[in-house]
Amino acid sequence: MPNSAPSPSPLDFDGLRPPSPFLTEAHVQWRSRVRDFVTREIEPNLACWETEGTFPDSVYEVAAQLGLLGVGFPTQYGGNTEDADPWYRVIFAEEMHRPGCGVVFADLATHWIGLPPVVQFGSAELQEKVTRQVLAGKRRIAFAVTEPGGGSDASALQTRAERHEDHWLLNGSKTLISGALRADVILTAVRTGGPGASGISLLLVDATSPGIERRAVPGLRWYNANNGTIEFRDVRVPLDRLVGAENRGFAGLARQFNVERLSGIAATLAMSRTAVAEAIAWAQQREAFGRRLVEHQALRHKLVDLVRAIRATYAYLDQCIWRLQRGEAVVADIAMLKVQATRTLERCARESMHVLGGHAYAGTTRVERIYREARIFALGGGTEEILDDLAARQLGLL
């Protein structure tokens, strides 16, 4: 009898994502909604926005109207799909990075790490003034943790807030803060107690407060001019802007770091798929020495190796989210997965550039853009050294 086995899926962006037993029809519909937004609102403008390093504020309101910003937040504050599982944010990050550029996502999705502590601990006034307005796309929030001298070591931060009779007095500096230049409010990690993780608190600071200076980070800006440095000089913050308990803010930071890392993992895998899909398409049509590139054994083995790396990393992601939903502690595995995912991206970007050769530098491919941006994912959300050490401690090696 003839072989009736189905043909393999095309190795395009969608085909490079292995099937997952955990994705439901609701997830498929969510992906379709996000993809439609990216296709209509972002891709036609990406070249211009990348050059300018920013995008119009109206994009926030369009995203809010489509129900993209409120996923996972309470309906009473303007959210929707309050019980959304982590796959919703993974899919959002995937689709936002399908064009091979993070200039929009870095600002548009910052509320997913900056807003949850406000929702959990903020007063009714803050829910109305901040949460509801952010989810409606009318105001923006930034999350300020990283400092010029501290990098990924959040427990060593130096920005200090001293309690006075009716206010906190805030002094210090933050840098590499996504959305810093367009934020209306800044959730800021500050030291209110002694050294180490036990002396950290979270303050919600109005970005226009006297004593705040914001400026773009010069040099290698990740093609996002809203990524900035924030200086606090004797900034008065009302006492009721303390979010959560005093000196207990580090636990909140750790929770938000896991959300950030999952988004970063999804972004790196999406960009890996985009790069490899372009490399495969090029190899199947480009001829060299009388044969298509893909007919050269060494090159097609290179492509198979990249597909294998992507699929293996997705299997690890599936396992981590499954365990996370079961209530298991997966801090070590998310840390290790983030390292694996960023290494996969850098490898896929480098080898895809190699396959495209001179064509990669023509300014018409996504691979060139991905290659430029790949390294930032290995730095944001914790460097390899920080994450490997975190994993070692969580695994009980020390």
- Residues 111-135 have pLDDT tens digits of 999 999 999 988 888 898 999 999 9
Q: Which CATH number fits domain 251-394: 1.20.140.10, 3.40.1280.30, 1.10.3470.10, 3.10.20.740?
A: 1.20.140.10
Average pLDDT for the chain: 91
The pLDDT value recorded for residue 5 is: 61
Among all chains, which residue has been given the structure tokens 């994450």?
A: 387
Contact 117, 187 (CB under 8 A): yes
Percent of the chain scoring above 90 in pLDDT: 70
Three-state secondary structure call for residue 117: helix
**Structure-model confidence comparison of residues 106 and 387, the more confident one:** 387
Q: Which helix (H) or strand (E) holds 215?
A: strand 212-216
The pLDDT value recorded for residue 327 is: 92
* CA pair distance 205, 226, nearest whole angstrom: 18
pLDDT at 2 over 60: no
Angle between helices 331-356 and 384-394 (to 10 degrees): 150
* pLDDT tens digits, 226-251: 789 999 999 999 999 999 999 998 88
* pLDDT tens digits, 350-360: 999 999 999 98
Among all chains, which residue has been given the structure tokens 């097609």?
A: 300
The pLDDT value recorded for residue 37 is: 97
Percent of the chain scoring above 70 in pLDDT: 96
Q: Locate all alpha helices (DSSP H) within the chain, ordered by sequence.
A: 25-37, 46-52, 58-65, 86-97, 105-108, 111-114, 116-121, 124-126, 132-135, 249-285, 297-325, 331-356, 366-379, 384-394
Task: Quote the DSSP letter at residue 150.
Answer: T
| β-pairing verdict for 185-191 and 141-144 | parallel
* CA pair distance 120, 123, nearest whole angstrom: 9
Tell which residue, 176, 167, 186, has the closest CA to residue 147.
176
Please name the CATH architecture into which domain 141-247 falls.
Beta Barrel (2.40)
Instruction: Calculate mean pLDDT across residues 301-324.
Output: 97
Task: Quote the DSSP letter at residue 7.
Answer: P
Tell which residue, 295, 306, 296, has the closest CA to residue 370.
306
Domains of the chain, by residue range, sit at: 25-135, 141-247, 251-394
C-alpha angle with apex 39: 38 to 43, nearest 5 degrees? Answer: 80
Instruction: Calculate mean pLDDT across residues 71-82.
Output: 87
The pLDDT value recorded for residue 391 is: 95
Q: State how far the alpha carbon of 165 is from the alpha carbons of 123, 169, 236, 280, in Å.
A: 20, 10, 11, 64
* CA pair distance 274, 297, nearest whole angstrom: 22
Please name the CATH architecture into which domain 25-135 falls.
Orthogonal Bundle (1.10)
The pLDDT value recorded for residue 151 is: 67
Contact 249, 202 (CB under 8 A): yes
* pLDDT tens digits, 8-52: 778 999 999 999 999 999 999 999 999 999 999 999 998 888 888
**Structure-model confidence comparison of residues 156 and 5, the more confident one:** 156
Confidence of residue 315 (pLDDT cuts 50, 70, 90): very high
**Structure-model confidence comparison of residues 277 and 151, the more confident one:** 277
* pLDDT tens digits, 290-307: 899 999 999 999 999 999
The pLDDT value recorded for residue 287 is: 83
**Structure-model confidence comparison of residues 106 and 190, the more confident one:** 190
Q: Residue 150 contacts by C-beta under 8 Å, 6 or more apart in sequence? A: 156, 157, 158
| Half-sphere CA count of 140, side-chain side, radius 13 A | 22
Buried b (16+ CB within 10 A) or exposed e, 157-193: bebbbeeeeebbebbbbbbbbbbbbbbbbbbbbbbbe
The pLDDT value recorded for residue 1 is: 46
Instruction: Calculate mean pLDDT across residues 201-227.
Output: 85
The pLDDT value recorded for residue 328 is: 93
Among all chains, which residue has been given the structure tokens 């209509």?
A: 40
